[in-house]
A = this chain, B = another copy of it.
Amino acid sequence: MIERLAIVGVGLLGGSLAKAARAQAIAREIVGIGRDTGRLRPALTDGTCDRVTTDLADGLRGADRIVLGATVLANETLLPEVWRSAAPGALVTDVGSTKRGIVAVAERLAADRRDVQFVGSHPMAGSEKAGYAVSRPDLFQGATVVLTPTESNAPAAVKSVGELWTAVGARVVTFEPDAHDRAVAAISHLPHVVAWALVDAVGRFEPEAFGVAARGFKDTTRIAAADPDVWREILLGNRDAIVDSVAVFRAALDDLERLVAQGDGTALTALLTRIKTTREKLS
């Protein structure tokens, strides 16, 4: 049982975690911390949080678990103050979609004060919408949460953060921070970039074609309607890994195009068969 769970940023992810923690009764006390009293109030009045505050140090006092639920850059900026205010033995995690940056900040802070630990989390759940109003207690049910521990983390700390997520219904997997950022670049950020380029390319090449678009095109480009503001931050926050993944994608595209241009039917069949096998493993 968690004694006091402090959640900094009570939006879609932080709010959903608070609601799930309340529903599953995994914390004796839940404290919501934010910048705006008015926006914190619903989390207090609906009984999700026992207390809300805009004072970070006050909110963190005595908390044994601290979850940073703001954006990636905001969480990184807050982390030094979190470290100063956290109680001895406090365990800190976050919900950000990239991990190298915040883990590097945490490693520097941990070198100075060793009785606070940070274990990065990335719950792969969410929505194109944001804010406490769309949060819900079942958001993490069946979702995958990637943990990105480092060698400076005590095994018990990693285990405790994992248990926080499994208690709210998630499946936990572990990646190195760098591998995590490359993996989300590959499986999420690159597909968005490709879907945007595909929609843009059809408009440039033969806009009449939109009139005969069928299910295949619609499925392939559904994510191209994602929220531009959310994605600007994601793209800029993981730009190195994204640029690397685009380079690999371009090489794969070149290989395929070469076989088409050369009319190499045998090699095309072999390549498409190999790719089909890979894709079918995902269901």
Given contacts A204-B248, A246-B257, A253-B246, contact A275 B187 (CB under 8 A): no
Residue pair B191, A272 in contact (C-beta under 8 Å): no
The answer to whether A209 has its CB under 8 Å from any CB of chain B is: yes
Report A188 CB to chain B, min CB distance, Å.
6
Residue pair B206, A272 in contact (C-beta under 8 Å): no
Given contacts A236-B263, A252-B197, A253-B197, contact A205 B245 (CB under 8 A): yes
The answer to whether A250 has its CB under 8 Å from any CB of chain B is: yes
How many copies of this kind of chain does the complex include? Answer: 2
Bound-state Cα–Cα, A184 to B224, Å: 20
Partner of A196, one of B124, B184, B256: B256
Residue pair B187, A272 in contact (C-beta under 8 Å): no
Specify which chain B residues have a CB less than 8 angstroms from the CB of A194 in the assembled complex.
Answer: 194, 198, 220, 253
Residue pair A257, B193 in contact (C-beta under 8 Å): yes
Residue pair B263, A239 in contact (C-beta under 8 Å): yes
Specify which chain B residues have a CB less than 8 angstroms from the CB of A186 in the assembled complex.
Answer: 201-202, 205-206, 209
Contact with B along A201-240 (1 / 0, CB 8 A): 1111110111111101111111111101101100110010
Given contacts A187-B213, A188-B216, A206-B186, contact A224 B257 (CB under 8 A): no
The answer to whether A261 has its CB under 8 Å from any CB of chain B is: yes
Report A262 CB to chain B, min CB distance, Å.
9
Query: Of the 9-residue stretches A19-27, A52-60, A85-93, A175-183, which lies at the interface with chain B?
Result: A175-183
Specify which chain B residues have a CB less than 8 angstroms from the CB of A229 in the assembled complex.
Answer: 269
The answer to whether A251 has its CB under 8 Å from any CB of chain B is: yes
- Show 27 residue pairs from A and B whose CB-CB distance is below 8 angstroms, ordered by the A residue: A124-B212, A182-B209, A183-B209, A186-B205, A187-B206, A191-B216, A193-B253, A194-B194, A194-B198, A194-B220, A196-B256, A196-B272, A196-B275, A197-B256, A201-B249, A201-B253, A205-B244, A206-B245, A210-B278, A216-B222, A217-B282, A220-B223, A225-B279, A226-B276, A228-B273, A235-B260, A239-B260
**Interface contacts beyond A187-B214, A199-B275, A220-B223: sample of 13 additional A-B pairs, CB < 8 Å, sorted by A:** A182-B209, A187-B209, A187-B212, A187-B213, A190-B201, A194-B198, A195-B220, A196-B275, A197-B249, A217-B282, A220-B220, A228-B268, A236-B263
